Each structure stands twice: as structure tokens, then as C-alpha cells.
Amino acid sequence: MHAAKTIAVLFLLSVLACAVPPSSGLLANVSGRATTSLNGPWHMIVDPYETGLGERYYENAKPKDKSDRIEYDFDRSDTLNVPGDWNTQKESLFFYEGPVWYERSFVYHRQGRTRAFVYFGAANYFTRVYLNGKKLGEHEGGFTPFNFEVTEELRAGENFLVVEVNNARRVDGVPAVRTDWWNYGGLTRDVVLVEVPGVFIQDYSIQLAHGSLNEIAGWIQLSANPVVATVTLEIPEAGIKKEFTTDLQGRVEFRLPIKVAPWSPEDPKLYEVIVSTVGDRVRDAIGFRSLQVRGTEILLNGKPIFLRGISLHEEAPNRGGRAFSAEDARTLLGWAKELGCNFVRLAHYPHNENEIRLADRLGLLVWSEIPVYWEIDWTNPATLANADAQLRDMIARDRNRASVAFWSLSNETPVEPARLTFLKRLADDARQLDPTRLITSAMNHTEKTGPNRQSLNDPLGQYLDVLGLNEYVGWYWGRAEDADGMEWSTAYQKPFLMTEFGGDAAFGRHGDAATRWTEEYQANLYVHQLNMVKEIPGLAGLSPWVLMDFHSPRRPLPGIQDYFNRKGLLSNKGERKQAFFVLQQFYREKGSSAVPPRK
């Protein structure tokens, strides 16, 4: 067994010589392009025995005559709304994990000599896509966008799209089999048809040069090569209008002086940015800000900032299920602003683009994470490639969003050599894909270094820019009062965030401060935790767990949890628990961007 594991680790090491994963092929800034929504009711067939592929559901066939045997019929089947998860739309599917087939018919008429793509905001977890009976491709991963070109497959007039989505958990998946959130299945984000010219602007990166407040640096990539073309970058309010000539690969890189008001939580200034070439023009709204570290400090625009944060899941307020809409984003991030936050940790996977775009406008710094969570198949090259692809697509979608400050590689992963090799590869790739942001992870491996002393000494820390620590004094171990006098340190001279702490309380359940599951217990825990974090030297911020209660299959306690993790400062109905006001007061005392005094 030991020899087999050694061989597997060596095989994993052999793939580390590979370059950064290839371009995702994603269309950048889909919301800024000509699109046709395919949202709405889709016909669906639940397929627990996975017979749909053999029965060729993707052909959407109809009987040729009264003797023809076809054992499915989308037109007579039930419907699911897209975007949305199936678990909360159909009570019978609440716990369902497996394949569901979706079908949507639509009319299409091509406009001139355009190209067309079908774009999925996300589908959880493994997806096969067919248009008019022809397979377009597959995608793995539940929280990143993907698209397929359909120019040649589209018909003038009636078309049908069939999508198989399978949310079955897998040992080699990312995440793997065990999580602490609901495995919502389905087409959980927007589905659109995108029309672009024959040669179009595929992608671009436009940000302040690393460490600079007066230069922008970036690149523009056209869709076709070899092609030499002129592209134009305009930022009208900043007086920028510059033409470039691409290389033979349809790419141009640039660096330009600029005078802009830097984006910050206090002034989340966004500039209209226009990228154009012959026949194509894309508009975006981009903020410009600088992120660096200096010792144990995080510097935003050259000045230290203390991150007043909260963690949250992509759980829809009030109705439950997967959050996806602009309204969901306004509610969740509005609560974070009410709490006094300048920072949100979007756990434990890339959240929908509505949240990221709104964070840009509200002035909330964002921690964005891929779902390398708990145990992963560390020695499997396919699992590494999957994690790498999710990292690549997360960065591709959001690299131009000023709010995104951190790319997080993982959460609470065990300390072992294969895991370190796996995560180092992700850290290296993240830095090559985007050198302007800070690389981090949330860790929970500490060492007792004395009475009431704990040190974060996870060897992963050597590859990170910022260290995250999850600790649950007063809930998973000890009493709330045990936080008093606790001393925390790290083995690295790097910024340190307390990324999780908290405890469960059912809204409206009351008792004294020693009675678990009550609002009083949770509020008392926060009092002691916040007294503790005040004494941590060089602490750069915190993001307690968690903004709102969320569904989790690991939490069955009747009458209290009922399949919810109840660590939220708000209930899933938006009711504020006592601990909400404890943290709110702490953040008010911190001020707009104060840094705690050094010890």
C-alpha cells in the first residue's frame, strides 16, 4: 500500500512540470454582449438508474407511428425553472443526488455572419450538453461557467437543447464526497445564447500594474489566430484612448500611465472601459486598486486595511436553495454592509457573478475560493487537473473585478505531503494566471506552544501571501470563556486572518449564556472571541462563520437544526440573532479602515 501511494505521488509530481492550464475558452464579460436568455421553465426527466444515455434522451425523439416504442417524452414531462436547483423546487427531489435531464426548445434566426455560443453560468456537478441531438461537450465542476460554440449546429427556426446534469458526489471530485453544505443539483445559474462577430474580443485583463497606482497593465486576446488586427482601449473618464496592433496570435500586451481615483470600500469608484476591434465592441465597468502585503499588513492602495468581514454561503435568503439572482445578492451583501463589513469571504466555491459585480459597486473586498475542501484525492492527476480548471475559470471570469482581493486554494485540508504538492501547484498557477491578487487558504492545523498558546504552523503557509485560520473555541472544543487569555501566533511573518469562528443558535431559542443552541450562548461566544482577537498581534482581519443559516445534510438535530447549519448571525428568514449586534458593535468601533494597534 505504501509503495502504491509513493508511485501515485511520483506520478502527481510528474504532471507538475506542465505549464499553466490552457486558456479556458470562456467568453469574457458575457453580460456586456448581445445575448438571448434561455432561462425559464425547462422540461425535465429524473434518471436515478442512469438510463437516459442508453435510451438517447438527447435526441428528443418522437414516435414515428403508433407502433414505435419510445419510453420518454420531454413534452409531457414536468418542468424545472432555470436558473435554480431541483432540490428546493420539488419536495420529492430534496435529497436527490444523480442525473436529471433538461430540455428547452427555442427559435433562432442568425443575424448576419455572426458566431453563436451557448453559455452556462454554472451547473452542478457533471454536465453533458446536446444541441439538436448532437453532443457539444462535457463540463465538470459545479460553480464555474462554461460555454460551447453552436454556430454550425443551430438551425434557422426551431431548435432544442438537452442537458444532462448529475450532482452525484465522487471520491475523485472537487469537492469530494464530504462537505458541510447542501449538494444542490441542476442548472443553477443563467443559460444564454451569445452572438459575436466572426473575429471577436475573447478575453482581456485591465488592472493597475502590480504595486502601482499610476500605471495600468494588461492584455487583450482576440478569438482567432493567426490574425493581426487593431484593437482599441478606451477609458473616457481617465482620458485614455489607445490603439494597439495584435501579434499573430491575436494578442496584445500593454502598460500605460493613468490617473484614476483608486477603488476602495469607502469610495468604490468604477470606470467605463471599452475594448473594441473591427466589428466588435465590449463595455465593462472596472475599478482600479492596488493590493500588496508588507510584513503582517495587507495594503490597499498603499495603506494598511483591517478587514471587517463575514463568511457566507451561496444560499438564497427566505426561499432557500442556491442563490443566483441580483435580488439574492442585494439581500445577502446588504446584510453584510449593515453588519459593518468591508470584506466578505465567499465560501467554499466561486459564487455567482451577480454577487461579485455587486461587491464591486458596494465596496466589499472579496475572498473567492475553489471547493478544494477537507479530503481530496490528492494523488490523482485528474483531480488536480479538475481543481486547476476550476481555479482557471474562476480567475478568467473575475480577473477584472476590483472587489476580488484573494484567490483561495482550499479550506481545512489535512497536513500531508501529497496535499502540499497539490496545493503548491495551484498556488503557482494562480500567480501565473493573475499576479495582481493575494493567494490564500483557510487552515485549521495548529500546534500548542504553551499554556493557552496556539501557533498556526501549517507548511502550506510558505506558499501563501495571506494566512487564514479557522478555530472554534467555545463550540467544537472548550467553553466560550476559554478564549479569554488565548494567544495565537503563526510560523510565518505574513498577514493573518481569523477566517472562521462561531457557534449554532436557533433564532428565537433562549436560555442563559451556558445553554447551547440559544441566542445567548452564541452572543456570549462572540463576546469572548472578539475580546480574544483584539489581543492578537498583527491580525489583519476576520470573517466569522457565518452570515446566514444554510442547509447542510450533516445537521439533522430535530427542532433546532432540521438540516440547517445554525451558525448564522441571521436565520434563513433574515431574522437577526443577538450575536449579529455584538459583531456589528465591534465593527462600528473599528471604524472605516482602522488597523488594530501593534503589540
pLDDT tens digits for 279-303? 999 999 999 999 999 999 999 999 9
Over range 319-324, report the average pLDDT.
97
Return phi, psi of residue 315, to 5°: -105, 130
Residue 495: the pLDDT is 97
Map grid coordinates 469608484 to a residue: 269
Q: Is the pLDDT of residue 595 over 50?
A: no
Q: Is the pLDDT of residue 19 over 60?
A: no
C-alpha distances (whole Å) from 281 to each of 202, 203, 252, 361 are 11, 12, 16, 23
Q: Is the pLDDT of residue 15 over 90?
A: no
Residue 14: the pLDDT is 43
d(CA 301, CA 268): 12
- The answer to whether 467 and 492 have CB atoms below 8 angstroms apart is yes
Q: Is the pLDDT of residue 2 over 80?
A: no
* Of residues 114, 125, 145, 191, the one with CA closest to residue 27: 145
pLDDT tens digits for 444-455? 999 999 999 999
Judged by DSSP in three states, 251 sits in: strand
Q: Is the pLDDT of residue 227 over 90?
A: no
List of residues 6+ apart from 468 with CB closer than 8 A: 408, 440, 441, 442, 443, 497, 499
pLDDT tens digits for 73-131? 999 999 999 999 999 999 999 999 999 999 999 999 988 889 999 999 999 999 999 99
Residue 215: the pLDDT is 97
Question: pLDDT category, 24, cuts 50, 70, 90?
Answer: low
Q: Is the pLDDT of residue 396 over 60?
A: yes
* Of residues 228, 208, 227, the one with CA closest to residue 218: 208
**Cβ atoms within 10 Å, residue 312:** 27
* Of residues 236, 239, 303, 310, the one with CA closest to residue 273: 236
Q: Which amino acid is it at 328?
A: D
Residue 8: the pLDDT is 44
Q: Is the pLDDT of residue 13 over 80?
A: no
C-alpha distances (whole Å) from 32 to each of 29, 109, 143, 352, 366 are 5, 21, 21, 16, 22
pLDDT tens digits for 502-527? 999 999 999 999 999 999 999 999 99
List of residues 6+ apart from 33 with CB closer than 8 A: 27, 194, 195, 196, 282
Q: What is the DSSP letter of 268?
A: -
**Mean pLDDT of the residues in the chain:** 94
Percentage above 70 pLDDT, the chain: 95
Residue 11: the pLDDT is 41
* Entry pTM: 0.94
Domains of the chain and CATH, by start: 33-196 (2.60.120.260), 201-289 (2.60.40.10), 292-590 (3.20.20.80)
Residue 226: the pLDDT is 76
Residue 62: the pLDDT is 95
Burial of 259 (0-12, 13-18, 19+ CB in 10 A): exposed
